[in-house]
């Protein structure tokens, strides 16, 4: 009998315990409302009217709502942009895979290289013009210091009479080799077109001699900048003082 009564008392006590909603109201809602009411009362006695407090509260709630809506819009926009980027990348990959690779013709490749490096042709032209203005014996000495491929390149660009006079100033065996190569039209693949590659076979005074034949000082400065620092310094020291000073002020 006592056990049955105790069981009934326990069940009755469990039914009397507050549920989750009651706990939420007791623990959170009522304290918050109490705090708001207390704060409004204090502000009222401090001179802030109830209408002013309500306006401030409405404005604050409106700002909070706008921020939440803006954050939702930003999240949706970022997701859309990410989805669009992934779709574009996928389409691009599919286009690349579906497009067959085409070999580039050799002539087109050479043409594009010339278009990308116009300074190479300009450098070669300026060197050729300088050789045509030099004495044949001096030109022969300069050409003999080059590689055979570079020497042939220079000789082929010169006029026939200038070329003949230069070859006549060379040693007989070297002159004969160059003459045979020029007559047969031998194609040497290692021929270079850059002044920096031609100048690497020359001494500083020889390079200075070539540069002194160029009237455009900007062109002289551009070619000196293509040299390594040590050789450039040596070449500048061999130039006329006026030109050397002008170049030194623009090298830094």
What average pLDDT does this structure show over 183-191? 55
Q: pLDDT digits over 23-68, tens only? A: 677 777 778 887 888 887 887 787 777 788 778 777 778 887 788 7
Q: What is the pTM of this model?
A: 0.32
Report the range of poorest mean pLDDT among 44-48, 93-97, 170-174: 93-97
Query: pLDDT per residue over 70-80, tens digit each?
Result: 877 877 777 77
Residue 192: pLDDT band (50, 70, 90) is very low
pLDDT given for residue 214 in this prediction: 77
Q: Is 49 left (phi over 0), alpha (psi -120 to 50) or beta?
A: beta
Distance separating alpha carbons of residues 189 and 200, to the nearest angstrom:
19
* Residue 140 contacts residue 170 (beta carbons within 8 Å): yes
How far is it, in rounded angstroms, from Cα 247 to Cα 250? Answer: 5
Mean pLDDT score of the chain: 73
Cβ–Cβ under 8 Å, residues 157 and 166: no
């Amino acid at each position: 009998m006592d056990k049955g009564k105790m069981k009934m008392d326990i069940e009755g006590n469990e039914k009397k315990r507050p549920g989750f909603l009651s706990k939420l109201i007791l623990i959170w809602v009522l304290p918050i409302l109490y705090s708001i009411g207390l704060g409004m009362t204090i502000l009222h006695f401090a001179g802030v009217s109830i209408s002013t407090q309500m306006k401030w509260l409405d404005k604050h709630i409106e700002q909070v709502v706008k921020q939440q809506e803006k954050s939702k819009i930003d999240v949706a926009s970022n997701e859309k942009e990410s989805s669009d980027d992934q779709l574009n990348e996928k389409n691009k990959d599919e286009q690349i895979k579906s497009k067959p690779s085409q070999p580039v013709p050799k002539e087109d490749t050479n043409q594009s290289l010339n278009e990308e490096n116009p300074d190479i042709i300009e450098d070669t032209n300026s060197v050729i013009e300088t050789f045509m203005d030099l004495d044949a014996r001096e030109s022969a000495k300069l050409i003999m210091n080059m590689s055979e491929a570079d020497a042939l390149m220079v000789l082929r660009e010169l006029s026939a009479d200038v070329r003949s006079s230069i070859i006549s100033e060379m040693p007989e065996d070297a002159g004969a080799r160059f003459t045979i190569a020029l007559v047969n039209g031998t194609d040497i693949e290692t021929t270079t077109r850059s002044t920096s590659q031609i100048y690497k076979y020359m001494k500083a005074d020889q390079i200075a001699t070539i540069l002194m034949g160029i009237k455009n000082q900007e062109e002289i400065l551009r070619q000196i900048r293509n040299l390594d620092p040590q050789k450039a310094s040596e070449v500048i020291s061999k130039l006329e003082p006026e030109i050397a000073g002008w170049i030194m002020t623009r090298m830094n």
